[in-house]
Amino acid sequence: MGVFCADWTLRSWTPAWAVLLGDPSARTCAERNLVRAVFAVGPRGLASWPVLQDGDARNPALVADLRTALVNYPRDRGLADLIDELRSTSAEFTRLWGEGAVGPHVSARKTIVHPRVGEVTCDCDVLTVPGCGVRLVVHTVAAGSADAEKLDFLRVTNCVSADGSSARAPHR
């Protein structure tokens, strides 16, 4: 599970998140912003997040969600600056922003490319806390699937329990 704020910056994460998606503590705060990563060109782009695909709906959903955040937090200078930055650097973001869609990003199917187990297909649910900009992002896999076996392998080899607690084991 990862905890994001209204502008889609990752603020907190479980050990299981770090094992599956890479340790976010090695990234700057700007690099932990999912919307910036999705629409950025170059090394700060999505390549720094190991998501292979999650369908054509992701980008419009993120922009609509960001517009919703701006409605909820119209005086948030950081949010406004992020939107200005993306409008000046990404033609796709500018096009989607111009469509004017508003709404929360709630779910998606993602394929995460992990360096040790390969592709892991997850359902990604975004849970929001009413009255604040907190988003809890939870990745799940079908019980008994090959993806579940891959996550179990990662749990065992990285000493992460099924509930995501405990520390990573050193690599051998």
Give Rg (Cα) of the chain.
16
**Residue 111 CA to its chain's centroid (Å):** 12
What is the number of other CB atoms lying within 10 angstroms of the CB of residue 90?
A: 21
Tokens 């690099």, residue? 31
Higher per-residue pLDDT: 106 or 41 = 106
The bridge status of strand 10-13 relative to strand 2-4 is antiparallel
| Per-residue confidence (pLDDT) for residue 172, from 0 to 100 | 29
Residue 129 is which amino acid?
V
Residues 6 or more apart whose CB falls under 8 angstroms from that of 81 comprise none
What is the SS3 assignment for 27?
coil
Average pLDDT score over residue span 51-68: 80
Q: Let me know: does 93 contact 63? Beta carbons within 8 Å.
A: yes
Backbone dihedral angles phi then psi of residue 13, each to the nearest 5 degrees: -155, 160
| Per-residue confidence (pLDDT) for residue 95, from 0 to 100 | 96
| Per-residue confidence (pLDDT) for residue 150, from 0 to 100 | 94
110 membership: H or E segment, kind and range: strand 107-114
Average pLDDT score over residue span 110-132: 88
Confidence bin at 64 (pLDDT 50/70/90): very high
Complete edge-to-edge strand list for the sheet that includes strand 2-4: 10-13, 2-4, 135-140, 118-128, 107-114, 51-53
pTM: 0.81
Confidence bin at 45 (pLDDT 50/70/90): very low
Q: Report the alpha-carbon distance of residue 101 to residue 90 in Å, rounded.
A: 17
11 membership: H or E segment, kind and range: strand 10-13
User: What are the pLDDT digits (tens) for 17-37?
Assistant: 888 888 888 888 888 999 998
